[in-house]
A = this chain, B = another copy of it.
Amino acid sequence: MKAADTSKYPRVVIIGGGFGGLEVAKALANKPVEVLMLDKHNYHTFQPLLYQVATGSLEAESIAFSLRKNFDNQKNFRFRMTEVTGINPEKHMVDTTTGEIPYDYLVIATGSTTNFFGNKDIEHNAMPMKSIPEALNLRYLVLQNLEEAELLKTKEEREPYLNFVLVGAGPTGVELAGALAELKNHILSKDYPELNRHEMKVYLADFLPKVLGPFSDEGSSAAKKFLERMGVEVMLKAKVESYDGSVITFEGGKSIRTKNVIWSAGVMGVIPDGIDKSLIEKGNRIRVDNVCRVAGYPNIFAIGDVAAMITPDTPKGHPGVAQVAIQMGKNVGKNIVRLINNEPTEPFKYFDKGSLATIGRNKAIADLGKLKFQGFFAWLIWMFVHLISLLGFRKKVVVFINWVGSYLSYNGGSRLIMRRYVKEAVPQEAEMLPHSD
């Protein structure tokens, strides 16, 4: 039960319930502040496992949890499901689709979205995978195209439905490629007995000369080897020229007929209106000082993917990973308390715990500082780290059971088409008119 009247305390408004926003709110528990979190969804998404939702290995609910429920026991926490349209630093107000909200301290933790680099035909025809609705849409697309393929008479007609092209060979692209290869190798013949599994092809393309760009060369080349062994065609130094929904064309002329293009080749920060344009860095990130404060605004912070803390060590800001958001969130939460107590703030210092990526069962890549290894042991570490990260979120048991089941049977996941695939989850206009038909 919540009873505390917190209205006499300074109000900290947090925009976004991602990894960073959560940590700010947690750091402010039992402190003399009123915490108000705003998010357009009422849930947090555990993004590192999103690709498993897309391939149907995990249900969406296993990697998402209610933001309200998560803070049931934090007395000074309030939540609003609303969309932020902008901020007004002069008036100390956040503008939302449900009205103005005043703040004393503001934390911008809005994260990032898919970057199509201005290519409209790709944006229109390719699938992004940065949110749960997008991952579900992708799942429905894959399953529906397999259903379609089974109805078609000739190999030529089936080809575009059975070619899967993943653009962007970062962790998301690599993990998705591995999961699709497993679908092909272990499930296709069982579920779709009339399809020849060799007709299904998985391509992973990147304009860089290696997969897993930020990883060590050792990790990258192991990942490539693992993928190729599973039947994935890895295309490096391959730059996409166009995609019209039927054919994807690369610079140099190579083209592939496909209905399935998944785009994970870049992200950009999501910045609410009202921030001085001169503060916006490459990748649409807000420039912040060494305590994540937005220059010129003493009571506004930005953290995680949307923040660019430019230092000699990080000339482009920190990498857009969960650990940065988490550590920045903790730092900002503590510094807000220090500011209220008139104590000096403590600068942010990133502790790099290393990188993990999984390619499939038994196969992962671990770059943990000087410790680099690949294969089964890396996969165990990957499993362990992700289960621990989900700890405290009550879904962990379900996730664990699903995983064990998947691992033993090679046939996990429920692969249900709950709704037909549509390019946009639900058209924006329809969302606003609940009773139209």
Q: Which residues of A contact B (CB under 8 A)?
A: 1-2, 41-43, 59-61, 64-66, 68-69, 72, 78, 80-82, 98-99, 124-125, 132-133, 136, 141, 143-144, 147, 150-151, 189-194, 245, 394-395, 397-398, 401-402, 405, 411, 414-427, 430-431, 434-437
Q: What are the 6 A-B residue pairs with the smallest beta carbon separation, nearest first? A: A2-B193, A68-B191, A43-B416, A420-B431, A72-B190, A59-B61
Instruction: Give A421's nearest chain B residue, CB to CB.
Output: B434
Instruction: Give A136's nearest chain B residue, CB to CB.
Output: B418
Docked pose: A162 CA to B69 CA in angstroms: 19
User: When the two chains form their complex, are residues A81 and B420 in contact, meaning their CB atoms are under 8 A apart?
Assistant: no
Q: How many copies does the complex hold?
A: 2
Partner of A66, one of B61, B98, B191, B405: B191
Docked pose: A82 CA to B431 CA in angstroms: 27
Instruction: Give A398's nearest chain B residue, CB to CB.
Output: B398
Instruction: Give A402's nearest chain B residue, CB to CB.
Output: B398
Instruction: Give A45's nearest chain B residue, CB to CB.
Output: B416
Please name all residues of chain B whose beta carbon is closer than 8 Å to the beta carbon of A426 when the two chains form the complex: 419-420, 422, 426
User: When the two chains form their complex, are residues A435 and B414 in contact, meaning their CB atoms are under 8 A apart?
Assistant: no
Partner of A434, one of B65, B72, B397, B422: B422
Contacts A419-B426, A425-B419: A192 and B431 contacting too (C-beta < 8 A)? no
Please name all residues of chain B whose beta carbon is closer than 8 Å to the beta carbon of A425 when the two chains form the complex: 419
User: When the two chains form their complex, are residues A61 and B416 in contact, meaning their CB atoms are under 8 A apart?
Assistant: yes
User: When the two chains form their complex, are residues B431 and A69 in contact, meaning their CB atoms are under 8 A apart?
Assistant: no
Please name all residues of chain B whose beta carbon is closer than 8 Å to the beta carbon of A401 when the two chains form the complex: 397-398, 401
